[in-house]
Amino acid sequence: GIQVEQSPPDLILQEGANSTLRCNFSDSVNNLQWFHQNPWGQLINLFYIPSGTKQNGRLSATTVATERYSLLYISSSQTTDSGVYFCAVEISSSGSARQLTFGSGTQLTVLP
Amino acid sequence: DTEVTQTPKHLVMGMTNKKSLKCEQHMGHRAMYWYKQKAKKPPELMFVYSYEKLSINESVPSRFSPECPNSSLLNLHLHALQPEDSALYLCASSLRQGGWGNTEAFFGQGTRLTVV
């Protein structure tokens, strides 16, 4: 099956710092999403980005589909950015078995 | 509106109980999903319904029984669960199950289940 690898597994930042999270995947994808899971378990949609670049406030994301990776940038981090960031992909070749597969996540802690 | 609503938020049940988790969306999505998430792990797919028909069952034990009564509702019936089934159960929906075009998935806030 598809491999989805996220790095780093853990990241501790001081408030105001910038960070880059990476997601590598092993096959061509139809769908790639970035989520933020808050401490209450809610998965919040950040980006739907199977290719290209998008920006939303302090967050931006880039997916280079041909090289099978995606990056999530967080600028001027705030304590409320803390939580787990997941990348999830749906591969192109799975036929009727299409589904989102999650990476193992990056645990981000932003210190005041 | 991109809301998926799950009830209850928390559930404690005994190993001999029967309970149900509910999920509802009104976005006109025709694919709905159940995921299970253990602590410090990513969500893992359990079931997919596409146009109210079961499309994927990831070899889930029969003590978990999904049901999709209509295009807006998804249930997960629980019976004779084990303590190791304690987890966060997440429901999601998307316009359709995969393929080209926008298949962005939206998740509910989850049901935190404890089996005692």
Nearest to A91 by CA among A30, A36, A43: A30
Q: Is the Cβ of B110 closer than 8 Å to some Cβ of chain A?
A: yes
Q: Is the Cβ of A30 closer than 8 Å to some Cβ of chain B?
A: yes
Q: What is the distance between the alpha carbons of residues B89 and B38, in angstroms, rounded to a whole number?
A: 9
Average pLDDT over residues A71-82: 97
Q: What is the distance between the alpha carbons of residues B33 and A59, in angstroms, rounded to a whole number?
A: 27
pLDDT digits (tens, 9 = 90+) for B22-65: 999 999 999 999 999 999 999 999 999 999 999 989 899 999 99
Q: pLDDT at position A93, please? A: 64
Computed over every residue of chain A, the mean pLDDT equals 93
The residue of chain B nearest to residue A42, with distances taken between CA atoms, is: B109
Q: pLDDT at position B99, please? A: 65
Q: What is the distance between the alpha carbons of residues B104 and B75, in angstroms, rounded to a whole number?
A: 21
